[in-house]
Structure 1
């Protein structure tokens, strides 16, 4: 592609004082030094058995052979962004610009040694050549059963360097990371602390905040220095007034991505959730091909990630890479505004991860996604904003900056380098650019296409959905650029022909292939909220008079507001009539929108929404197999068929041609290329904004805040790295107090280090401690709303069997007959006796005799003991597609209480498992819990629920909404069918939405009355992703 020299980069420098660049000579040690004498002192004290220089085996290939091989496999682009070419590599350690030692792998492997493929572990078939074989620190193969060498940071269980002890570290971590206390307040705390210790001749851990910051800054772990370079316009200047953007310098701050990747790779926290080799996964029950994590997708005929751009040869066919570990680099960028009220405060962060980390960890673990840098945002006045030169400069600056930021990774994309991996072993790593996470406007910038064209295929902007088009590719684009003028490229092919994509400067990188699916912006905010919801409202306004339309829209808002309380549901007390929408708002609206509009719009519109939301929920699954892809295709076909109603009704008279909606046709192929999209969604980067951008900005002085934000991020990374290091050495067991008392040999109170107590309202439950590998899925926390029902959350730790438990705290004890009078359930005692009878005789072989005996009250067991009442129970279940822990577990609180938040009572509904042999809703009944209680009989404890039953109205889901319909089950006299069930019968909470029909809802009705006010209800399978999997 045509390059342009109108942009110049210069003035590379570091943040703060100069960083030490001389590395330790021992492989894996992260210490660096200002001079050789400092390194010598370090070697003598920390590595006395190490030689002064490492042992360097001879290379199997000459440097000329290596150079020739590189020139064939990597074609560097030309133009302004190519600031340096690939380095010449030898077997000896080389010094990078960041001062980090690089170990080169030998050009061929030892033919005498036999190696096994990675153990199958039940997941699938691993790639035979790119299989991540272990090696020694010099890159030489070692037997598969060799134990990993000790880590340089493993200095024993009592070395807290740079902290003096655990108290110092815990104080620094609490004040700086968890509490985010200001420097002045930290000084105040230490002053009080010093005053309390003065009489004992002791001092606090730090004298003031400056000393504490200095100790954090001295941490070698996680230390990746910030660097920057400046860019400016270098083209011809106009006569007369010169726009300020042409004479301004634009700073780009970044950290060495190679060192960041090394830090991620060596993190022991990722062990067990890390793929060392590409694999093909299959469902053992039906043989369906599974696409889950990225590494389970790239070893597939549809994927091009193991293919070289130039020769189309597999990486695995290069003898230099056989046995190596492929490390695809994930990038993501997204502009964010930190404060709308105080003016233009925009930042453009770039995040980085690696594809070897599995999706559940990337969604849950903040240290798996790191801040790479901040792109510059050129600004100008409104008159110059549309100037062609300015727009070209902005595009150039983006691509040149990304190419420069990633420069240190380029040598390792063709020649493997030795790295330490999470299990402690060394492996030869080959890097490659992997998925890029971005919203559509940024995708267009990255792909160098004209806005409103597709970055994945050649469909024109005015015909995105009018046929089948070929895919875009780097080769195809380069041919077009050579053949046609810029105007033809722009008008006929939607290409910006004078900009070189940053990916052209790296091997095996095609920006059109790398752009990943984005559920949040393409599907939820785009196709659902900005498109379909908007069109529904336009239809209503066009179909009815202004007054009638407003009445209908108000009724839809009231219907939305009537959604019963449910764990994690962001309620809309006034409907959806507010201006500023977040991602969580759109997700919440999607959960309740279909029942709210049904009856007010044509069935075809409801069917359109059903198809689209089905598509979203299938795409959002944690594991997608070939059967899921068939269901995805079916949902897409239904969506395209039913959405025609918006064209025929006049809402979209000119058709659709919307890039975000058009992207749905590419999801099938992208899932086969990238794995499940939930591991690459922009909600991950949006959630990272909070910790990496917004909170550091709030902690700054707000004046020229970027440098302060960079320093804050650097300190947070060092604290996180220290915590991981200390935890891996078993130094953070128990509380800080119990640890100190144990060291002093004093009797300490018993502490449960494996659990913490989390209090919801007034009832605590025990949840596994968020320790190592027990992190919470955070991809849905980007725009957390305080109005959401905080009745459920992720459960840390591994996958366990689903279960329901009564709350830890009971409400009161009472005799059953007295309780029956209080709650207006005169048959409660009989129901309990009937339950007890069934429990005692459940194993009787003569079921008929048991049933006949149950009809007589004299045959029922007596109940003399008081029963214990509870206001809630906790359901814990496997829900990996929802907000969950590493093991995919989630909990939710189910309420049965006569007064809720100083108002009316709340009685939640539940799924009751009635036939485990049947899938979907045919195996479940719905009931409303009226009472949680327990009692003992003959020494046996019985946890129970008293429920009112619903029954299925039809034997299949409603055709228009796709949801099952239930109604309260009543006797002939109109009273509700009720019974007592064992708590084990409850699977989890269920959400019901009324079948509103064509009737308008009374304005006085409240959401607290919803479950008692209507004749029939939808079993809302869209309330969360786990419900979608069971309520079909």
Structure 2
């Protein structure tokens, strides 16, 4: 009897005298119940050497979770349910990097310098800096945890305290009271049966257009045979619009800027916050008080842990300041995100949605679209104002249009933040809530637009020092507000004051009167656009430049990578990719160090500094995405960024680029400050915004007839929210 064989084309099983293919033979031995075939498998296992030593356990220990918990899904490991799927191009991920000066890399600069490289030269190894050991490894038992020692602020009041001892009705109980007269007849009121409700839900979520529904229900009295309470789409829409609770309705207003009127569709921001705050599905998870978490019982500052938004310094300091004036206040941090997205590929139709969520909801819920913890707040106008011929005047008019629309929508937050509003949560408890603008989530162009700045939205770094790695002084909010107060005076005086304060002359920015808000501190890191779609994109371009490693050798190594379930195979290389998505840059970042670690530079330079620069950038990339941070890990993140800056000039020496005046590289220096203020970067991730565009912009646009699209999109979203929240 043969022990084991691996034929080239087929395999013969001597146990059952059957011919199999190579893969079929392995599956046969693994699943067969024939004793003779099982004997062949057992004999093969005894013949093959084991992978465990005698001192090691014969099997791997069962995974019981780590410091992030045990509630993992396939998404957490970079896999889609049901197996691996190649990522597709996403137009929203393809956002051009905004630089102050020329990137220094042009397609026509790529030459065939790599042809002088002889692969038959003797074996060569890169030089290694023995002094640099990379970021320190963290023992698993010392990694930051999201549930350690806690301290609450010792203030006069009691954050989250109810203002009434009597509990009231939550949203669903209140809506149920409206149908008490019909609920006795049917638990599916205002529908008369489960089939009646399920058919209506299918029409809203999966069904065809109104005309097709009317024709279907008109066939041979279909509505009567199914026992439906409506005979056409008009009657169904009336039930949905008038008899079912849902998210706040959209309103339409007209604003005039630069002599042109624009329609803006928006929801009441107060009602949107109420809808999230009183949702019973979130009641068990809402956070009402700031906390300080430590991994050390002595509560040393170097052991402080940051993860959720309420563990950051902003909520803590703001709560103390608010308690001094109005004890017993409950803070509701408002998180606003915006991003212009393309609706059509060829006709140039765009939408400018603005989303809202609150920091009281944990980040694990906020980042899941299925939990609907984000609300579409409005659609801003997307005009280009082409009738204004001056580029400077056009940019200023567009900025004023943006702030006018945002102010119309968010102006109620001024009084709600100062004096508070009674709000009933999903648990039925009534609290005095102060709605405070906490964070803005957006790409670099939106950050400049919101803060009315020109170079850095957070500090006053000069334009020519962006690539130095040094941070400027924090922007002076008081000086900015004093300059904005001169808007009604002489234009020259107003322009000069704004120039002196380092901002653009915008008429009444939307954040001008917000209490307890510093808009320059509210700007948050952007992992997708700042790191993956900018710095990693640049890093790959520098490494594959013909003056560095060249595209041919790098692509050849990509094609020869062995299959692995943790990495993506780029069978055609990475330099030939176009419209590279954020997911593709994520996959490239996983393998780029392995591709170049033992490559030799084409011009004979040492690779030591280059490898240190790449290592520093990759270390910073992954440290910035920790789900929980400790003060020591934040120090490691800063050290990784400093390591990149200390060795980045290797690209200048190679002639790959002449300067590093990249705004997004400079913004990386502000990551630690933002994490300490608002928690880890998962709390303000633009990838969530990109995902929301599918449901709230692109799908909604596809349901319209493209004429007066936004009026139809908002109506469809109102009906869609009704069927998805019930």
1:171 lines up with 2:199 in the alignment: yes
Give the drift of 1:440: 0.3
- Kindly indicate whether the alpha-carbon contact (under 8 Å) linking 1:298 and 1:306 is maintained by their aligned counterparts in 2: no
Task: Give me the whole-angstrom Cα distance separating, in 1, the residues matched to 2:400 and 2:570.
Answer: 44
Give the drift of 1:494: 4.5
Corresponding position of 1:454:
456
1:424-454: CA deviations, max 9, x gaps? 211111111110001001111111112xx11
Task: Give me the whole-angstrom Cα distance separating, in 2, the residues matched to 1:416 and 1:193.
Answer: 58
- Kindly indicate whether the alpha-carbon contact (under 8 Å) linking 2:256 and 2:262 is maintained by their aligned counterparts in 1: yes
Corresponding position of 2:151:
125
Give the drift of 1:369: 0.6
Aligned in 2, Cα 1:482/1:281: closer, same or farther, shift over 3 Å? Answer: same
Structure 1 segment 983-994 matched on structure 2, within 5 A:
none
Aligned in 2, Cα 1:558/1:377: closer, same or farther, shift over 3 Å? Answer: same
Aligned in 2, Cα 1:126/1:369: closer, same or farther, shift over 3 Å? Answer: same
Normalised by the length of structure 1, the TM-score is 0.51
Corresponding position of 2:706:
702
Q: Rg bigger for which structure?
A: 1
1:355 lines up with 2:355 in the alignment: no
- Kindly indicate whether the alpha-carbon contact (under 8 Å) linking 1:126 and 1:280 is maintained by their aligned counterparts in 2: yes
> SS of the residue aligned with 1:350?
strand
- Segments of 5+ residues of structure 1 without an aligned counterpart are 1-119, 234-245, 308-313, 724-1032
Structure 1 segment 895-910 matched on structure 2, within 5 A:
none
Task: Give me the whole-angstrom Cα distance separating, in 1, the residues matched to 2:632 and 2:298.
Answer: 10
Corresponding position of 1:521:
529
Corresponding position of 1:500:
508
1:316 lines up with 2:323 in the alignment: yes
Corresponding position of 1:581:
580
Within the candidate set 226, 238, 241, 1:214 is matched to 238
Give the drift of 1:175: 3.0
Within the candidate set 281, 288, 312, 2:293 is matched to 281
Corresponding position of 1:956:
none
Task: Give me the whole-angstrom Cα distance separating, in 1, the residues matched to 2:207 and 2:570.
Answer: 32
Give the drift of 1:255: 0.5
Within the candidate set 377, 401, 422, 1:372 is matched to 377
Task: Give me the whole-angstrom Cα distance separating, in 2, the residues matched to 1:190 and 1:608.
Answer: 66
Greater relative CO (CA pairs within 8 A, separation 6+): 2
Give the drift of 1:334: 0.3
- Kindly indicate whether the alpha-carbon contact (under 8 Å) linking 1:434 and 1:514 is maintained by their aligned counterparts in 2: yes
Task: Give me the whole-angstrom Cα distance separating, in 1, the residues matched to 2:443 and 2:226.
Answer: 55
- Kindly indicate whether the alpha-carbon contact (under 8 Å) linking 1:403 and 1:505 is maintained by their aligned counterparts in 2: no
- How many residues get paired? 555
1:295 lines up with 2:317 in the alignment: no
Task: Give me the whole-angstrom Cα distance separating, in 2, the residues matched to 1:194 and 1:645.
Answer: 77
Corresponding position of 1:183:
210
Corresponding position of 2:27:
none
1:132-162: CA deviations, max 9, x gaps? 4443xxx44x3xxx76656323458864333
Within the candidate set 462, 469, 473, 1:470 is matched to 473
Structure 1 segment 535-684 matched on structure 2, within 5 A:
535-538=542-545, 541-542=546-547, 549-559=550-560, 562=561, 564-566=563-565, 571-576=569-574, 577-600=576-599, 601=601, 602-653=607-658, 655-684=659-688
Give the drift of 1:720: 2.7
1:153 lines up with 2:164 in the alignment: no
- Kindly indicate whether the alpha-carbon contact (under 8 Å) linking 1:132 and 1:428 is maintained by their aligned counterparts in 2: no
1:744-799: CA deviations, max 9, x gaps? xxxxxxxxxxxxxxxxxxxxxxxxxxxxxxxxxxxxxxxxxxxxxxxxxxxxxxxx
Task: Give me the whole-angstrom Cα distance separating, in 2, the residues matched to 1:621 and 1:132.
Answer: 29
Task: Give me the whole-angstrom Cα distance separating, in 2, the residues matched to 1:496 and 1:712.
Answer: 38
Within the candidate set 528, 534, 550, 2:541 is matched to 534
Aligned in 2, Cα 1:610/1:164: closer, same or farther, shift over 3 Å? Answer: farther
- Kindly indicate whether the alpha-carbon contact (under 8 Å) linking 1:504 and 1:510 is maintained by their aligned counterparts in 2: no
Corresponding position of 2:350:
346
Structure 1 segment 662-811 matched on structure 2, within 5 A:
662-721=666-725, 723=726
1:797-818: CA deviations, max 9, x gaps? xxxxxxxxxxxxxxxxxxxxxx
Structure 1 segment 866-881 matched on structure 2, within 5 A:
none
- Kindly indicate whether the alpha-carbon contact (under 8 Å) linking 1:162 and 1:218 is maintained by their aligned counterparts in 2: no
- Segments of 5+ residues of structure 2 without an aligned counterpart are 1-145, 487-491, 602-606
Give the drift of 1:187: 4.0
Structure 1 segment 27-42 matched on structure 2, within 5 A:
none
Task: Give me the whole-angstrom Cα distance separating, in 1, the residues matched to 2:219 and 2:616.
Answer: 62
Corresponding position of 2:267:
255
1:411 lines up with 2:415 in the alignment: yes
Aligned in 2, Cα 1:202/1:162: closer, same or farther, shift over 3 Å? Answer: closer
Aligned in 2, Cα 1:581/1:286: closer, same or farther, shift over 3 Å? Answer: farther
1:331 lines up with 2:331 in the alignment: no
- Kindly indicate whether the alpha-carbon contact (under 8 Å) linking 1:608 and 1:643 is maintained by their aligned counterparts in 2: yes
Aligned in 2, Cα 1:338/1:162: closer, same or farther, shift over 3 Å? Answer: same
Give the drift of 1:284: 5.4
Give the drift of 1:508: 2.0
Corresponding position of 1:812:
none
Task: Give me the whole-angstrom Cα distance separating, in 2, the residues matched to 1:482 and 1:263.
Answer: 35
Task: Give me the whole-angstrom Cα distance separating, in 1, the residues matched to 2:219 and 2:626.
Answer: 52
Aligned in 2, Cα 1:299/1:436: closer, same or farther, shift over 3 Å? Answer: closer
- Kindly indicate whether the alpha-carbon contact (under 8 Å) linking 2:322 and 2:329 is maintained by their aligned counterparts in 1: no
- Kindly indicate whether the alpha-carbon contact (under 8 Å) linking 1:409 and 1:431 is maintained by their aligned counterparts in 2: yes
Looking at secondary structure, tell me which structure has more helix per residue: 2
Task: Give me the whole-angstrom Cα distance separating, in 2, the residues matched to 1:558 and 1:670.
Answer: 40
Give the drift of 1:694: 0.5
Looking at secondary structure, tell me which structure has more strand per residue: 1
Corresponding position of 1:980:
none
- Kindly indicate whether the alpha-carbon contact (under 8 Å) linking 1:276 and 1:326 is maintained by their aligned counterparts in 2: yes
